[in-house]
Every structure is written in C-alpha cells, then in structure tokens.
Structure 1
C-alpha cells in the first residue's frame, strides 16, 4: 500500500489514542486530587504539636491570666501549673516539685483540640525563670510551656546543662547510716544514698543535679532535688552520697529511687521500723492522766462537800499504865487538895474536911472525949 494511503489511517488512530488518554485523565483527575488533599490534611493534623499561649507575659501574685491551647487531642484532660526553674527548651527542672501545685487548674480540650481557661497567678516554691506548664493527665503524654514572669518573685540561674555527659551506675547502690534514740520516739528517719556513677559521654559533667524519690507502698514517689558538687570527666567515675530523709513517724517498706534527667539510675528498698517510743508514750499518757484527774477530782470533792455543825470528836486512846519500878508510897491524908492534879475533879458531895468522922492524921494529936 502506498504511504499516502496510510497517512489518513495513522492520523485517525493517533487522534483516537489522544482522546482516550484525555478522557481517562478527566475521569480520574478529581479523585486523585481529592486523595492528595486528604493526605495533606492528615499529615498536617499528625504534624501539629500542642501549643500554649498566655494573655499576659507578666503578672503579680493574686492576679489571673487566661491560658489558651491548640493542637491537643480532643477530649483530653489537662493540668495547668505555674512552675519555676523552667524554660520551654529545657522543660521543668525538678518536675512538679518546682510548681505551684495547690493553685493549678484542670481543663478538658474541645472537639477541635483547643481550650481557654483562667489560671490564678501564684509563686512557685523555687525561683524563676518561670513558665505556664500544661501537661496531659491521662492518655498519651504531651506537654507544652509558655514563658511567664511572676512579678516580685526571685530569679536564679538554671543549673548548668551537662551537654554530652551521660551518667550511669557502675556499682551496687546502698543506704548508709543508722537511726538514733530520737527516731525511736518519732523523729524523721534519715540515711545516705551511696552510689558510684560513671560518665559515659564525651563532655564532663559539672555539679550534676540528681533527683531522689521516696515511695511508700503503691504510692508514687515524692521527688526532691539533690545537687552533688564536683566534676566527672568523660570516662571517669565518682562516689556520690546524697541525703535521704522521710517524714516524722514514718515506718514500713519504702523504695528509694535515684534519677538523673529523665532516666532512673537506681532503686533501693528501705525498711523502716515502727517508732515504739511513741506507742509507749501514749500508753503511759493514757494511764497517768486519768489517775491524776481522779485524784484532783477527789480533792475538790473533799474540799467542797458540806460538813455537820457538831462533828463528834474521836475518843482518845488511853495509854496503858507503866509498871512502877520503885517503892510505892503510902497515901498521906494531909496532902493539900490544891496540889492535886487539875484533871482529878472532887466529887460535889464529899470533901476531905467535911467528913464527920475522918480518920486521924498521923501528924495531928488525937482528940479525946470528955472524961
């Protein structure tokens, strides 16, 4: 077949092919575009990070600020706190122990992942720099911080960032020290947490700040910051001693934990005996106080009770007569009655001189009758 005869056929086939491709693109184009847009929306939602803003950057104690958040998961319970010794890049140094926990507020995010809530301004227990710290209470962990200045609150420099230093425990952890006699009567038990740590990083660690936590039973540990003075060179090790103290009257099984940064380095159990001196004191108090009250009450009753007008006197006990050791004297009739004991009262119907026929006295002459 000559070439001129084939040209119309080839041109017709090419136009048909181009039309089919255009039609396919027209049919599939919107669907592909919709899928691409949906993927972009999902990616933007997944890449969104929680953020927090405050209505005022500075306020004094007793005031109120409005905290707004975006990018949170819908229906999430959050806790808002004012924390000291914190920056958005380094977070809250010391955990919630650096925050004004008593003045915190809880808020639940809406369906769009946002919220707006008033927060009272309070002074944290540590110096500033301060932030408004928002964190999830349940579910996946998420936090966000906003810089905030508490007017009139002291400001101190943050601990030095250790950079590339990494500490690890190289030996067994132990508790040293003992309890004194005051602990037996309820004084706070105290020990020293001794641990050998080594620097596995490439930078020296200067004056590291550890966190020591004590937990009783199933309760969460209570963390306290303990700074160790010294420098641990890369590849070096050091013996670290940190004080640990419980509350007054504490007893039972405790768990002591050591944390550096966000990593728990060691855990050590601690069994604390019961302060039996306190029990003995309460037992004695329950015995002595009622006895003292009873005696005081009896003394008051004996003093205020009425007494009869003529109270009978008690008869005196007569002493037994002593045996006479010397010769007995014969009774004399001429003894003067005035010299008789005053206790011997004379009978009213008889006197010695009034007797008609009194016996003659040995010193007077006997009278004779008339002859």
Structure 2
C-alpha cells in the first residue's frame, strides 16, 4: 500500500462531506417580528390621556394614532377612518430601534363603541394594529353584520396605462389608469368594492380619493381592476401612485411626468411678441401726431418737357439773340457757322471800294 493512499482517501472524504453540506437545504431565515402596540390603560373618559407605545416597527416610519369606534381587534375599523376621532389624532415617528411612545388624548369617536386605538403606518410602513380601548360614557352598539367585505390580494404586476395628449405639454392635468389584478381570498362575495387612489410627490403623503369598482367578486375568483388617476395641472417630476382598500395599501407604482415645455415656450414667445407689438403701436401714434410737413419732405420735380405739338418751328440761321436777362444762368447756344473769327470787327479796315 502506497503511503499517499490514506491522504487521497482523506481528501475524497472531505470533498464528499462538503458536497453533502452544500446540497442540504438552508435553514429558513428568521422572520421579522410583527409590530406590536401597548396602551398605558384600557379605559378612559373624554378629556383624559393615555400613552401609546410600540415595538417591532420599521425605523423612521411615520405612524398615525386614532381612537376609532365601531371596531374590534382582528376585524379592523368598520367604515374606515370615518369612524375615528380624526381631529384628536396624533402622529408618531419610529426611532432607530423600531420603537415609539406617544401620548394620545381620549376622544369620543363619531361611531359607538366597541372602540380601539388604531395605529397605522403613513409613510415607510403600511402595517396597522388595533388594540381594544373603552371610552367611558360613550354609547355602545353591536358590530354590524359583515356585508361581504372579502379579503383582497394582488395577483399580478401593477402597471399604468394611457398616454399624455398635446394639451399636457401645455400644462393640462396628466391622466392614467392604474391596472392590477386582485383575487378574493375571503369566504364571502365582494360586491362593489370602493378603492382609494392617491398620488404623492417627494416627502408629501398621498391624498386619497375614492374610486368605486362596479361588480361582484366571488370567493376564490380574480378580476382585473382599472382605476383612473389624475394629477394637478402643471404637475411634473417623480410621483408615486398608491391604491388602498379597507385602510391597507394594495399597490404602489412610480410615475415619471415630464415638464410641460409648451408653457415655457408660450412665455418666451409672449416676451418677444408683446414688446414688438407695443413698439409698432407706439410708432403708429408718433406718426399720427407729428406735423404734416415733417411727414412729407420737399422734393424737386423736373419740369416736364413740352409736347412736340407746341415745339417752335426751325428758323433759318440769323444773328445771335441778345443776352439773357440777368440772373439767368442757362448757357447760350453758339452756332457752329458763326464764330468770333468770322464776325466783322469795328476797328478792322474797310475793304476796297468802301468809303
């Protein structure tokens, strides 16, 4: 037996062990703890105060704290935030450890009890937790029977459909349709659900508007939902479209809106056309008010030639006409056959035979 065989056997065993370790299923990652909420007291009267604290929330998330009526833990806030004392609500920010603590005044909600303290994420986290709370002296009433609220879940990728027209280039509101597919995971039919669609820009929270969907979604069925969304006039930049149902956000979709360059072009043209028009109007006014003499400068018109019908007839050669009057600068024509050499001189001697 060669001395190197044990070494080779050890290497092969080590490689086999490494291969088996790689093929073993990885241990499941530890699930993140669910957010929790605790109250300093479970009952209080109007005008009082309680401390709401929680842990397991996402760091930096903004939470809204409300006292809501006609609600119960596990059943949600029936009727939405219309059942809550919204004017007495408070906001809380989660610290770096995922905890928060905030004082909340006790207020009477618009709906009768049973009541809860409703803690819901506004930005950074969309979870919500309800804790039972009794408002002393507030009326109580049984919870309404379920009307088939169902339980929706998004089953397909969200998308925005539609295109911007020419008017959007000049500042008209941009419009789209947010399209997604949902399934009813509950045990009751869902009839005419009412969704809420909102858009946010930058650090601002979305402003939701109700968008009803007509139809009935049976348990275990799915349907394609199309909801219109519209921005304000002149809006541009990066927006986030959100759709929520029963107080929970179902989908979020980014939306990049271009700048309305037509508005900029309009103002540039206006900056050129208006001054040019004012200049032309001013010149027209100046031309009307200045004297007529300045408007019509003097011009020397040439004397028209007399017609041929009135031309003087040709005359035979004769003596040179007398000199023109003083001041007449027109040149005198000299006949070619009468020159100073041929004119008789007064001092020249007389010819023969003359006396």
Query: TM-score of the superposition, structure 1-length normalised?
Result: 0.50
Aligned to 1:185: 170
Which of 283, 301, 304 pairs up with 1:321? Answer: 304
Aligned to 2:188: 203
Give aligned pairs, total: 243
Corresponding position: 1:229 with 2:208: no
CA displacement at 1:282 relative to structure 2: 0.9
> Is the Cα–Cα contact under 8 Å of residues 251 and 271 in structure 1 kept in the other structure?
yes
CA displacement at 1:166 relative to structure 2: 1.1
Query: TM-score of the superposition, structure 2-length normalised?
Result: 0.51
> Is the Cα–Cα contact under 8 Å of residues 88 and 105 in structure 2 kept in the other structure?
no
Q: 2:51 aligns to what SS in structure 1?
A: coil
Q: 1:72 aligns to what SS in structure 2?
A: strand
Which of 47, 50, 53 pairs up with 1:71? Answer: 50
Aligned to 1:124: none
CA displacement at 1:80 relative to structure 2: 9.9
Correspondence list, 1:23-62, <5 A:
48-49=40-41
Distance across 1 between alignment mates of 2:283 and 2:295: 23
CA displacement at 1:246 relative to structure 2: 0.4
> Is the Cα–Cα contact under 8 Å of residues 45 and 106 in structure 2 kept in the other structure?
no
Distance 1:254 1:114, change over 3 A: closer
> Is the Cα–Cα contact under 8 Å of residues 215 and 255 in structure 1 kept in the other structure?
yes
> Is the Cα–Cα contact under 8 Å of residues 153 and 184 in structure 2 kept in the other structure?
yes
Q: 1:269 aligns to what SS in structure 2?
A: strand
Correspondence list, 1:1-371, <5 A:
48-49=40-41, 68-73=47-52, 87-89=69-71, 91=77, 93=79, 95=81, 161-163=147-149, 165-297=150-282, 314-319=297-302, 321-322=304-305, 324=307, 328-330=311-313
Distance across 2 between alignment mates of 1:145 and 1:272: 47
CA displacement at 1:240 relative to structure 2: 0.9
Distance 1:230 1:256, change over 3 A: same
Aligned to 1:361: none
Distance 1:269 1:80, change over 3 A: closer
> Is the Cα–Cα contact under 8 Å of residues 177 and 192 in structure 1 kept in the other structure?
yes
Gaps of 5+ in 1: 1-45, 55-67, 120-127, 148-157, 332-346, 348-371
Distance across 2 between alignment mates of 1:317 and 1:166: 101
Alpha-carbon displacement from aligned partner over 1:134-189 (angstroms, at most 9, x marks no partner): 98899x98898979xxxxxxxxxx9x8534x1111111111111111211111110
CA RMSD of aligned residues (A): 5.2
Distance across 1 between alignment mates of 2:45 and 2:300: 102
Distance across 2 between alignment mates of 1:264 and 1:79: 15
CA displacement at 1:233 relative to structure 2: 0.2
CA displacement at 1:239 relative to structure 2: 1.2
> Is the Cα–Cα contact under 8 Å of residues 88 and 146 in structure 1 kept in the other structure?
no
Alpha-carbon displacement from aligned partner over 1:318-360 (angstroms, at most 9, x marks no partner): 14534745572449xxxxxxxxxxxxxxx9xxxxxxxxxxxxx
> Is the Cα–Cα contact under 8 Å of residues 199 and 237 in structure 1 kept in the other structure?
yes
Gaps of 5+ in 2: 1-37, 54-62, 93-102, 122-127, 137-143, 315-324, 326-355
CA displacement at 1:69 relative to structure 2: 2.8
> Is the Cα–Cα contact under 8 Å of residues 79 and 104 in structure 1 kept in the other structure?
no
